[in-house]
Structure 1
Amino acid sequence: MLGERNTFIPIDFSLLSSKKSIINGINKDIDKRSAGYNRRKEALQSAPEQLPGMIARSLSKGIQASYVLMDSWFTQQPLIKAIVDQGIDVIGMVKNSQQRYQVNGKMLSLKELYHRATPLPEKKGVLRVITTTMANGVAVKVVFVRNRNNKREWLAILSTDHSLSEQEIIQTYGIRWDIEVFFKTTKSLLRLQKEFQGRSYDSLISHTTIVFTRYIVLSWQNRCHNDNRTLGGVFYDLCDEMQALDWAVALQQLLELFHDALDKIGKRAQRLIKSQLSHWIAGLPTYIKAYMPDLRCES
């Protein structure tokens, strides 16, 4: 799934199956070079095993992303390292499990890490923060926040991008909620579960693709018609073009002033000054000349 603060779209998915409850297995007649065969192989993997491949496919298609946002089910140290190795930072909720973090040569649990973290003046629920290293060597910043459902407890959000402030980590992680809205919309409004039923794996893949495509169209329409910030990029591009035009016009006007001034002095001085200007114009970079095709000094 690909999302930012304004728009969310699905870009990849996988339908997983338990090895113990397979109804239709992989038919021996299926071409192993086909997408259908690869989809069936993926279905037998666990969800964390799927993510590195999905990210690699997205990057290979030219999709750019700054962060992978994950809940505590996926925020496992091997998966985090696999994602970071692909050049993308991770922000995710962390649960108190067997994972360990290194502090001053000691391996600590998440609960022990909380007591080692630096207390902060509580502001908007932020309790503590600490920069540490996971057992696999990946450096992380862990922010501890108050659990709104139980104020006696805390929650931990991990980020591999240390440059973010505590509030930026929390706000960026909050974007992950869009995927919950997406699931609710596809199931309730786009009838992902009820519109089609069958035992053909290919049909299930096709139906899911159609439903997700509907959501992409709706998301795009919403961005075009309801989000005024969509035009921001066009606005700044036009501003840059206008600035370049103003600069070109100003330089052309400056040369015209030179011409007017030259008409008032002797011919010998005119030839000398025009010769110097011609040499200067000839030495200008090509990209400047492209802005000012009329830039010349006749002698």
Structure 2
Amino acid sequence: MNIVPHLHHSSEILSTKTSHFLEEFHVGKILKSCNAYKVRGFSVKDVFQVAFENAFSSKSFFQKEKEASASIPFAKDTFYRFMNSHSINWRRFTLQLASAVIQKIAPLTAEDRRNVLIVDDSLFSRARSTKVELLARVFDHAEGKHTKGFRMLTLGWSDGNSFLPLNHCLLSSTKRRNRIQEASRDVDARSNGGKQRKLAQTKAPTVVQELLKEAKAAEIPARYVLFDTWFCSPASMIQIKELGYDVVAMLKRTEKIHFQYQGRGQSAPAIFRAAKKRRGRSAYLFSVEVEARKDEKTIPVKLVFVRNRNKPQDYLILASTDVTLSEEEIIQTYGKRWNIEVFFKMCKTFLKLGKESRSISYDALTAHVSIVFARYMMLSLEQRRNVDKRSIGELFFLAYDELQDLRYIDALHLILKMLVDVIKQRTIFMEKELDDMLNSFLENLPILWHKCLKQCT
């Protein structure tokens, strides 16, 4: 018998808060629609809630079961079977939950707001593992070397204030020689787990197309797709344009990618060298309209060349398939891509992404990522409700203006930060800047979330 009680008032408040979030968005029904249900025994929602709350305490599931078994009514085998299930469609779960949260946020902003989808990947490291399913050698941009793990390809949504993760895929490698472990042969290829494993071995551009199609089918309100240089090419811009989205992306400074300009194919650096630049302290050097061509398909593209005030010879290139946008609007829209970098930092630092689950099952890793994303959705919604007075009620909705979108000067500041990192040939974000933005995010959270997350670090 334990003399010192391990449960305290804050734990009860935490459980109440998470229960309210799960009830508000009918997470139990969403899980059931994603093939997560039990014929008998404990409900899937109860098991999910235990996994959901783990990040807000300094104890693992094993420690919580040992010290406070009364609060966990099921055995550890039940928990592990839930995490390792290959029948649950976790990608669908993340998308449906995000769609429900967006429906709460969307009325708080005007219809003419440029909502965006953001695509990026981040390292999901398993450097000390050898037997994890589909474990591969991937390049770590922060360290500048290859390591063992996955590329966590993520699709997110933003309205300029709030960011929500929509979908994800832990990418392995398409090349057999780069894969350290193969997929388990015991998993039926027709199951959700089997399909997810197949997708993990597909090329990243193809996976991006699949994630965007699923977001389109879910009717996620967004007009633009933002991404970094790794995916920006005429072929990808044309494919995304055919899906019904416009692209605002950063173009790589290379002579290998050509656009039709002045009647012939030219690279962006060649256009830059030949063009007349703007004088004075303008934020951008110049912009031109070109054509992106792949096979027989052609679309118009506007290229905006952003200056580096400290080094005139250095510049960034932004590309937009919506040529009606002004240069300032293109810079402002692309500045929203910074939200996904803050999201990755938040998940890895505070929400135990990659640290909580040491399973070797690919299904368990996929489930772990989805649960971490669900935690971030709850925090993002809490922060929005805490800051946006229009969320309090109808009277406040009429009396207060909507939150301001990301300002042009702020977006330009972020893009210039990216330019500094490109020059240094380092990762796309700066550690100090991310820490400042992350601390600002935490300060706007309710006191309970702030305390619980601080205790985990």
**TM-score range normalised by the length of the shorter chain:** 0.7 to 0.9
User: Match for 2:240 among 83, 87, 102?
Assistant: 83
User: Match for 2:209 among 49, 52, 58?
Assistant: 52
Q: 1:93, 1:156 within 8 Å by CA — same for their partners in 2?
A: yes
Shift of 1:118: 5.4
SS at structure 2 position matched to 1:85? helix
Which piece of structure 1 moves more, 40-49 or 120-129?
A: 120-129
Cross-structure match for 1:287: none
| Alignment partners' CA distance in 1, 2:390 and 2:349 | 29
- 1:211 paired to 2:396: no
1:1-299 equivalences under 5 Å are: 1-18=156-173, 19-97=176-254, 98-117=256-275, 119-136=277-294, 137-147=298-308, 150-228=311-389, 230=391
Q: 2:248, 2:334 within 8 Å by CA — same for their partners in 1?
A: yes
SS at structure 1 position matched to 2:319? strand
Which piece of structure 1 moves more, 113-122 or 167-176?
A: 113-122
- TM normalised by structure 1 equals 0.74
| Alignment partners' CA distance in 2, 1:83 and 1:10 | 19
Cross-structure match for 2:29: none
Q: 1:142, 1:156 within 8 Å by CA — same for their partners in 2?
A: yes
Shift of 1:103: 1.3
Change in 2 beyond 3 A, CA 1:70/1:24: same
Which letter does structure 1 place at the counterpart of 2:218? K
Q: 1:117, 1:129 within 8 Å by CA — same for their partners in 2?
A: no
Deviation per residue, 1:82-123 (Å, 9 max, x gap): 100011000000012211011122110111111344533444
Deviation per residue, 1:36-82 (Å, 9 max, x gap): 11111111112222111101101111212110001111112211111
Shift of 1:196: 1.5
Q: 2:391, 2:397 within 8 Å by CA — same for their partners in 1?
A: no
SS at structure 1 position matched to 2:168? coil
- TM normalised by structure 2 equals 0.49
Which letter does structure 1 place at the counterpart of 2:220? I
Deviation per residue, 1:191-238 (Å, 9 max, x gap): 102112121100000001110100000001111111235579987789
**Identical-pair percentage:** 38
| Alignment partners' CA distance in 1, 2:301 and 2:347 | 34
Q: 1:102, 1:108 within 8 Å by CA — same for their partners in 2?
A: yes
| Alignment partners' CA distance in 2, 1:126 and 1:32 | 51
| Alignment partners' CA distance in 2, 1:120 and 1:14 | 43
Change in 2 beyond 3 A, CA 1:74/1:229: farther
List runs of 5+ in structure 1 lacking aligned partners: 239-299
| Alignment partners' CA distance in 1, 2:293 and 2:187 | 42
| Alignment partners' CA distance in 2, 1:157 and 1:236 | 36
Q: 2:259, 2:268 within 8 Å by CA — same for their partners in 1?
A: yes
Shift of 1:31: 2.6
Count of residue pairs brought into register by the alignment? 239
